[in-house]
Structure 1
Amino acid sequence: MLLPVVVLVVLGICGLTVLGVVAGSIGTAGVLVGAVCALLPVGPVVAAFLWVDRWEPEPPRLLLFAFGWGACVAALTALLINTSAISVLEQTLGQETGALAGPALVGPVVEEAVKGAFLVGLLVLHGREFDGVVDGVVYAGIVAAGFAFTENILYFGQAFVTEGLGGASGGVLVTFLLRGVFAPFAHPLYTAMIGIGAGLAAGSRSTGFRVAAVLVGYLVAVALHALWNGAATLFGGVAFFGVYGYVMVPVFLALIGLVVWQRRREQDTIAQYLPEFARQGWVAPSEVRLMASMAGRREWRRKVRARSGRAAARAVAEYQAAVTELAFLQARIVRGTAGPDADQWRRQALTEVHQARRRAVGRADEAAR
């Protein structure tokens, strides 16, 4: 119990510190308005990444930790380092030049590093939860969504304090349109590059490739972030819409295409190993067809919910997720990329499959009685 408590305490301290710094900058009213506006885009963004993660949902505790890391630890670290670095640039290059160069040069390097640190830590310490590129994109997106939530509070609050809801420069309305409507996936898009690198690293046996994949992902994330910030702050912002339309939108569409392709590969992996699991007695032969596609899984849960209730349907969903994780792990073991803990992870995964199946059968029996 000690580790979760320590983690919560650290996140709480970082969150309160960020809140205090932001409140000192924009006041209580700015924080309240900023928080309300920041809540509107973060919900759909998080929901989108959870939808991507439907095949084998990641543990809720890790997803909450990812969001908290982005919103508290990463936001506080970036705020402190960025402020200090920009101050140095202003003293070295002049106040106006330093204030413009800081967001384009310092911010991307620092922010992507502190967000990417969570992905690297997860890859090293919880390698079993990292099955590939989709997992990397999901964790990266959740971390970045937390970071963007805190950053948006500051931006929306500043717009409210200086311009109000409207104003000559648009105030909160224009800021919300730019950050909450046109670019809610900006931070997740940058950090997803690190997530792709971490996902590729999880599927490789080469230490050199693993390091290189994460490093290249980080550099691409920094480049995209710097390009976006530079287009918005340098040269009077005239390049902003060009970068948005010709760089960010195509990259975002390419990311969607990559995730769809990886999801299809995951479905093929599951379909490949389900017959073997049935022969081993780990799943029932009648369940192979139901688990081989998302449509079959939804239909199975729908029928169970109609016959036995929501609790039984949730238990079936947990059983489906446990079988999926076992299939992904088996694929990694066959490829030799699961590492030295592969046997232990497989025993744990098998135990979770059997426990989940017993819960599903038990809930159905309870409903029948």
Structure 2
Amino acid sequence: MDLFSVLMAAVAPGISLLAYFYLKDRYETEPIHLVGKLFLFGVLLVIPAMVIQSAFIEEIGGENQFTFAFFISGGLEEFLKWFVVYHLIYRHSSFDEPYDGIVYAVAVSLGFATLENILYALVNGTSISMLIMRALLPVSGHALFGVMMGYYLGKAKFMRAHERKYLFASMLLPILWHGSFDYIQLVAQSNWIWFMLPFMTLLWIRTIWKINRANEHSPLGRIMRSDEEFEVG
């Protein structure tokens, strides 16, 4: 494959997944420029994440698989993504329904995953089968961790009585899922796919459920349903 084809193949999964989650918003899609901005910030996070990870590996080593998966890899990456979403969008006026948290967190996550995918393709070279595997696993994994993050950010913003609890969950749960994803690959090196398939299936099931829940709790949805009932009455 030539360079352009490799780049397009590396970018396509992230853009496709972002479009999928963006269009899952039932009531009011987010400003596309704002989603694009969050995606770009996700791209920009890759380099500092790599620098910090290299520093941690140099200081504490990367031999311990649990520490690497849950702290150096999953922990650091999910914290950086959470930090960007929280500080750029959590108080933003466009974040006006629970599902919006999912859109913005997924945008950051897929920006990160897309550049990571490009770098992997450029450094290692790749085949069609490997590109498909990466689309189904690392790239979609980042998206699903983003759904987890955004779902609880939405709960935190619109259930203020439990804001701190849900903010903590919005950071902790993606770290645990991402860390588990990495840990499976590190520990079960030869047969990791047999553990990863049920893991990703469970994660997708939880993701679809959370998407539906977030849409159901939209204040915009309640307003529209009230208007429909008023017109019928």
| Other-structure match for 2:82 | 116
| Other-structure match for 2:100 | 135
Q: Larger Rg: 1 or 2?
A: 1
| Other-structure match for 2:8 | 36
Aligned positions of 1:97-112 closer than 5 A: 97=63, 102-112=68-78
Deviation at 1:100, TM superposition (A): 8.8
Partner AA of 2:11 in structure 1: L
| Other-structure match for 1:61 | 33
Deviation at 1:32, TM superposition (A): 5.5
Identity %: 22
Deviation at 1:104, TM superposition (A): 4.9
Does residue 88 (structure 1) correspond to residue 89 (structure 2)? The answer is: no
SS in 1 for 2:118: helix
Aligned positions of 1:313-352 closer than 5 A: none
Deviation at 1:215, TM superposition (A): 1.2
Q: What CA deviation, in whole Å up to 9, does each residue of 1:322-347 have, x standing for no partner?
A: xxxxxxxxxxxxxxxxxxxxxxxxxx
Q: Report the Cα distance in structure 1 between the residues aligned to 2:212 and 2:159, rounded to whole angstroms.
A: 21
When the two chains are superposed, the root-mean-square deviation of aligned CA atoms in Å is 2.9
**Does the 8 Å CA contact 1:156/1:175 hold for their aligned counterparts?**
no
Bigger relative contact order, structure 1 or 2 (CA pairs below 8 A, ≥6 apart): 2
Partner AA of 2:152 in structure 1: G
**Does the 8 Å CA contact 2:69/2:180 hold for their aligned counterparts?**
no
**Does the 8 Å CA contact 1:85/1:102 hold for their aligned counterparts?**
no
Q: What CA deviation, in whole Å up to 9, does each residue of 1:251-299 have, x standing for no partner?
A: 21121122124324437403344379x9xxxxxxxxx68xxxxxxxxxx
Q: Report the Cα distance in structure 2 between the residues aligned to 1:152 and 1:30, rounded to whole angstroms.
A: 16
Partner AA of 1:255 in structure 2: T
| Other-structure match for 1:330 | none
Does residue 177 (structure 1) correspond to residue 132 (structure 2)? The answer is: yes
SS in 2 for 1:236: coil
| Other-structure match for 1:149 | 114
| Other-structure match for 2:46 | 75
Scaled by the length of structure 2, the TM-score of the pair is 0.85
Does residue 187 (structure 1) correspond to residue 152 (structure 2)? The answer is: no
Gaps of 5+ in 2: none
Q: Report the Cα distance in structure 2 between the residues aligned to 1:81 and 1:30, rounded to whole angstroms.
A: 32
Q: Report the Cα distance in structure 2 between the residues aligned to 1:100 and 1:136, rounded to whole angstroms.
A: 29
Q: 1:186 to 1:112 in 2, by over 3 A?
A: same
User: Which one of the candidate residues 170, 177, 202 is aligned to 1:217?
Assistant: 170
Partner AA of 2:200 in structure 1: M
Q: Report the Cα distance in structure 2 between the residues aligned to 1:237 and 1:113, rounded to whole angstroms.
A: 29
| Other-structure match for 1:274 | 227
SS in 1 for 2:160: coil
Q: Report the Cα distance in structure 2 between the residues aligned to 1:138 and 1:55, rounded to whole angstroms.
A: 13
SS in 2 for 1:125: coil
Does residue 257 (structure 1) correspond to residue 209 (structure 2)? The answer is: yes
Scaled by the length of structure 1, the TM-score of the pair is 0.56
